[in-house]
Every structure is written in C-alpha cells, then in structure tokens.
Copies of this chain bind each other. A is one copy, B any other.
Amino acid sequence: MGGLRTLPWYVAGSQVLGVACVVITGVWMGHYRGGYAWDGSAQEFNVHPLCMVLGLVFLYGTQHPTHTLATVLVYRVFRNETKRSVKILHALLHMMALIISIVGLVAVFDFHSSAKISHMYSLHSWCGMLTFVLFFIQWLLGLGFFLFPWASAQLRSWYLPLHAFFGLLLLTMSVGSCLLGITEKLLFSIMETYSRFTGEGVLANTLGLLLVCFGVLVGYVVTREDFRRPPNPEEEALSVHFKTLSEGEIPSSP
C-alpha cells in the first residue's frame, strides 16, 4: 500500500550506489595501482576492473530498478504505446554493457599475454567468464523472444520467468565475480600489508561491500511483489487487460 511511491527512492539509491562503485574502482586503479594505459602493461590490466564494474555491474544493474520504474510509469501513464520504446532502451543499454565488458576482457587477456601469465586458471576467471557467456546468451534470447516478433505469445510467457530469473542471477554472478577479482588483486598486490588495514585494502574491501549493497538493493526492487503487481483490484483488472493487449501485440502475419 503506497509501496510504489517509495520506488523512485530505491531507484535513486541504486544509481548513487552504482556510481560510487564505479568511482571507487576508478580511484583504486587510478590512484593506488598507477593509472591506465593500453600497452600490455599492468596499467592495461587496470582497464579491466573499471570496465567490468562499469559494464556488468553499473550499466547492467541500474537499469533493472529503472526498468521497473519505467514499466510502472508506462503502465500507469502512457499505457501500451511506449512499451516497445522501453524494451528497445533495455536492449540498447544491455548492448552498451556488453561492449564495455568486452573491452574489459580484451584488456586482461592482452595483459596476461604480454606478461606471459596463463589465461583462465583462477576461480575468478571461471566465474567471470561463465557470467559473461551467460549474459551474452541471455541478451540474444531476450532480443529473439521479446523484441523481434519471432516467438509466439505462449513461448514468450514460458520464457519470461526464466529471463527474469537469469537477469537477477547474472547480476549476482557479476557482483560475486567482482568480489573474487578484488580479493585476487589485493593478494597479488599487497599481500604483505593487507592484514595491517592499509588504505588500499580498506578501500577495496569497502568497494566489495558497496557492490554487495548495490546487488541487494537492485534484487530487492525487482523481486518486491508490490513493485511488480498493481496494489488494488481496479488496477489488477487493468493489469490483466494490459497483459492481454501487450501479449497480443504480435503481428498476425509472421
């Protein structure tokens, strides 16, 4: 009851947390780890954390509460006509997240090759790569099922809960992979001083906790029932009507 009025605050909160994560990653790599470059050096490695937090956490994550808000607004204010625009925006933001994370992946593979370090041996790399591959598949399936008129209404409604489940799972896996990356980077760089609560260690740990808070906030917004369902029977009826409309938007000719 009145839950929807609090939604913009959650959206704002997730934006603030997301920006804080990106800024702290930027400061950690920029100030403590020697800045950025693209020459196979350790400075090229520094591009990797920044791109992954920017792409797979911030850009990927913040749009989910925003999408919930947009869906609610579209649904309450504009009805059906702008639903497609929201979908296209959703797909485009995911594409930006995808491109930025590809840059981040190239940076770390390039650095490993230059420094003659094996690829893909750590748990961080296994989890991170799994996340990226699943994210790419999820994006392709999302395009195919929801944006293009290829799938039947039945197929769409079968896939929608899976898409939503994997959407949140992928954010969780992104955040988890970042935390593994933070731990690895700290133990590779400051193993001797980490246990003395040095500035860099505390900053990176704080980044880890903020990433967790970000994931929790986004997860809360996208799973909370009264952000997804209309709160009163009148709107419930409208919702069914709206659902029929939106699921019936598939053209009659394939």
Count of this chain's copies in the oligomeric assembly? 2
B223 close to A122 (CB less than 8 A): no
B186 close to A220 (CB less than 8 A): no
Q: How far is the CA of A161 from the CA of B122 in the complex (A)?
A: 37
Chain B residues whose C-beta falls within 8 Å of the C-beta of A204 in the assembled complex: 123
Chain B residues whose C-beta falls within 8 Å of the C-beta of A175 in the assembled complex: 176
**Chain B proximity of A194: nearest CB distance (Å):** 6
B186 close to A123 (CB less than 8 A): yes
A208 close to B117 (CB less than 8 A): no
B220 close to A122 (CB less than 8 A): no
Q: How far is the CA of A124 from the CA of B180 in the complex (A)?
A: 9
B169 close to A208 (CB less than 8 A): no
A179 close to B123 (CB less than 8 A): yes
Known: A122-B183, A127-B179. 14 other contacts (CB 8 A): A121-B194, A121-B196, A123-B186, A123-B208, A124-B183, A126-B208, A126-B209, A161-B224, A165-B219, A165-B220, A176-B212, A180-B183, A183-B183, A187-B188
**Would you give 15 A-B contacts (Cβ < 8 Å), ordered by A?**
A117-B195, A121-B194, A121-B195, A122-B195, A123-B182, A123-B186, A126-B205, A126-B209, A127-B209, A161-B224, A165-B219, A172-B172, A179-B180, A183-B183, A187-B188
